[in-house]
Chains A and B, each alone.
Chain A
Amino acid sequence: MTTPSRVIPALQVEDLTVAYRDKPVLWDVDISVPPGVLMAVVGPNGAGKTTLIKACLGLVRPAAGRVLIHGRPVDDQRRQIAYVPQRGSVDWDFPTTVLDVVTMGRYGALGWFRRPGAAERERARQCLEMVGMLGFERRQISQLSGGQQQRVFLARALVQEADIFFMDEPFQGVDATTERAIVALLQNLRAGGRTVICVHHDLQTVPEYFDWVSLVNVRLVASGPVKEVFTPALLRTTYGGRLPFLSQRAAPEAPSP
């Protein structure tokens, strides 16, 4: 480990173990993420990526270990963290509008009992504009396409004005244009000194989109800058040797018949 006094990590995960019933989903994970990076969490299905995000947010109780946000427990830092859950985690037929959902991002700052007013709605409108969804404010949320739903969730996280963003597959079911728009937005956040942590599935775009990566398969395989960590050898360890497309592109040493 390097000298701990220099920079307080944006996210520090220590000895994190999470088990559903008796089955460990995450085992003894240590991750340290410096502020101002765009990090991908990569791993095969069932590797515990979503669980890692949820444990960082305090949504699942760890069997062991702890999570620190800027050096302090998550519960003290609620206003510093924003969350973009998986699109399928809510009922999109819920009777509410786009503007209403985005305004929910201000509820944490509002606290108990205070209702969102003109200021909150204006902020929500600005964030909808940032994700290219201005003009959809009054739309019922069931009338949105998958990519639009994703952008509404993104706007809801932006409106929190947080420091660290946790996103669970923000590119799922999103078309290429929207994906590029979202990536530009995330890189903008990083440029503003924010930290973004994304569960990501598409290995090919990792080096292009992200500068930091954690390879997870129940245990942490490796975590660090993409250039050092995103190597064919470590990826093979993560995916148990099954790397259908990456092996052709990023592993030229593989023997060809």
Chain B
Amino acid sequence: MSLLAPLSALAANDTLRIVALGSVGLGLAGGVLGTFAVLRRQSLLGDAVSHAALPGIVLAFMLSGTKASLVLVLGAAAAGWLASLSVLAITRHTRIKDDTALGVILSVFFGFGLVLLTYLQKKPDAAKAGLDRFLFGQAAAMLHGDVAVIVAVGGLAIALLVIFWKELKLLAFDPDYAACLGYPVRMLDVLLTSLIVAAIVIGLQAVGVVLMSALLVAPAAAARQWTDRLAVMAVLAGLFGAASGMLGAIISSTTERLPAGPSIVLCASAVVAVSLLAAPHRGIIWQWVRHWRHQRRLGLEALLCDLLELATHHGDPEHGHSLSALAAMSGGRAGLQRRLRELRARGLVRMVGAARWTLTAAGRIEAARIAASHHGNRHDREPRP
């Protein structure tokens, strides 16, 4: 799909602008708060919280009879909160590990939510509730009020993160040290978890409970690839989240029968894929290139050393050495011609006669230098007794 189609639709359509604004808000909050969730290795907590929010949403509707965004968000937050507290309580008071506790809580809460949802939909008067859109999200249904909730709650969460930045950074990096400095770590932990819960619940209507945690994890994971600074990572993750949110929501709104959750998550996944591949230093392509360069350099150095050794044995620097002699020394002919040509281009070797090679004067100096440095390294690693 072309990028321009949704953007021109955005300019033309007022409803779409609402959708876009809401999606930018939830993507921004998800990305920024997700940075901390990812760094604290709490990615799975996001998944548990978002799934666990479903019964909260349905119960909030059943109790209040309204679908007002704020009411449902509060219900979702309460259930998400209860879920994360349950996970904490289980890990603290039993021998069950946290990944198992997360799995148990996620499935219990989500299962209960599905039961409530099915029960609700069988009742004739509530059949139009449309709460099932919370499963996979429906960006097109966003109204002014929904966007106001997203902007207010998301903005508050980000503002609190900025206010407590120093403390939360310390908590994420070294909680024991934070406690040692006198900071109330338990309270900070509750604060950070609450902010993460807030970032999750505001996205549930648009993205859905099943995939919302991806919007927490994916932008942060992608941002980590590009920077080694926490602040830069948080801003980048926010931007990635906002872009994915907007693009995905617009694609979903302008396409029939395409739920917003999957399209937003696919956009975020594309950002992750590009980041994993192409980011400098940490990206896979970068690592391949570095590995390949390293291999090539080692190959050239080894060849120079081989030629130096042959020349030393022979005593005559003018004597050319055959390819087969060199291949025997380096353990194969593969790439030998190419390496020789490259060394010749650098003026380090020359050809004497038919396919026989020897070092130039510059090559001898270079080979001697390499041999000496390798020899020196070996000494560093294995000191003689």
Contact in complex: B166, A89 (CB < 8 Å)? no
A168 → chain B closest CB, angstroms: 10
Interface residues of A in 160-191 (CB under 8 A from B): 160
Given A83-B177, A94-B39, are A104 and B230 also a contact pair (CB < 8 Å)? no
> What is the distance, in angstroms, from B366's C-beta to the closest C-beta of chain A?
29
Roughly how many angstroms separate A91 CA and B181 CA in the complex, as a whole number? 19
Q: Which of B163, B182, B227, B229 contacts A113 (CB under 8 A)? A: B163
Asked whether A104 lies within 8 Å of B174 as measured between CB atoms, the reply is: yes
CB atoms of B182 and A78 under 8 A apart:
yes
Segment among A24-32, A95-103, A232-240, A242-250 that sits at the interface with chain B? A95-103
Q: B53-69 CB contact bits vs A (8 Å, 1 = yes)?
A: 00000000000000000
A55 at the interface (CB under 8 A from B): no
The answer to whether B179 and A85 touch across the interface, beta carbons within 8 angstroms, is no
Whether A7 is near chain B, meaning CB under 8 Å from some CB there, is no
Complex Cα spacing A207 to B170, Å: 36
In angstroms, Cα B230 to Cα A114, docked, is 18
Interchain CB contact under 8 A, A90 and B173: yes
Residue B228 at the chain A interface, CB threshold 8 Å: yes
B318 within 8 A of A: no
Chain A, range 106-128, C-beta contacts under 8 Å to B? 107-108, 110, 112-116
Complex contacts, B229 vs chain A, CB 8 Å = 95-97
B176 at the interface (CB under 8 A from A): yes
Among A79, A96, A140, residue most surrounded by chain B Cβ atoms (within 10 Å): A96
> Does A59 reach chain B (CB closer than 8 Å)?
yes
Report chain A residues within 8 Å CB of B132: none
Question: Would B179 and A58 count as touching, CB distance under 8 A?
Answer: yes
Assess whether A108 is in contact with B181, with CB atoms less than 8 Å apart: yes
Residue of B nearest to A141 (CB): B228
A-side contacts of B224, CB under 8 Å: 95
Size of B's binding interface in residues, CB under 8 A: 26
Find A89's partner among B174, B183, B230 (CB 8 Å cutoff).
B174
Task: Given A59-B179, A78-B180, A101-B173, decide whether A95 and B167 contact each other with a Cβ distance below 8 A.
Answer: no
Q: Does A158 contact B (CB under 8 A)?
A: no
Instruction: Give Cα A87–Cα B27 distance, bound, in whole angstroms.
Output: 36
Q: Does A199 contact B (CB under 8 A)?
A: no
Tell me the bound Cα distance from A217 to B188 in angstroms: 35
Docked Cα-Cα span, A134 to B293, in Å, equals: 31
Q: Are B177 and A85 in contact (CB under 8 A)?
A: yes
Of the candidates B163, B180, B183, the one having the most CB atoms from chain A within 10 angstroms of its own CB is B180
Is A213 in the interface zone, CB < 8 Å from B? no
Whether the Cβ atoms of A116 and B228 lie closer than 8 Å is no
Cα(A58)–Cα(B182), bound, Å: 10
* Shortest CB distance A115–B (Å): 6
The one of B174, B227, B232 in contact with A90, judged by C-beta atoms closer than 8 angstroms, is B174
Map CB proximity to A onto B229-247 as digits: 1 under 8 Å, 0 otherwise.
1101100000000000000
Cβ contact within 8 Å between A95 and B233: yes
Given contacts A94-B172, A142-B228, 18 further A-B contacts (CB under 8 A): A59-B176, A78-B180, A78-B182, A81-B180, A89-B176, A90-B173, A91-B39, A94-B39, A94-B173, A95-B228, A96-B228, A104-B170, A107-B170, A107-B181, A110-B166, A112-B167, A114-B166, A160-B181
**Taking beta carbons and an 8 Å cutoff, which residues of A are in contact with B?**
54, 57-59, 75, 78-79, 81, 83, 85, 89-91, 94-97, 101, 104, 107-108, 110, 112-116, 140, 142, 156, 160
Shortest 9 CB-CB contacts between residues of A and residues of B: A78-B182, A108-B181, A140-B228, A83-B180, A90-B174, A95-B230, A95-B228, A57-B180, A94-B173
Could you jot down 30 A-B contacts, CB within 8 Å? A54-B176, A57-B180, A58-B180, A59-B176, A79-B182, A85-B174, A85-B176, A89-B174, A90-B174, A91-B173, A94-B39, A94-B230, A95-B224, A95-B230, A95-B233, A96-B169, A96-B228, A96-B230, A97-B229, A104-B170, A104-B174, A104-B177, A107-B166, A107-B170, A107-B178, A107-B181, A108-B181, A113-B164, A116-B166, A160-B181
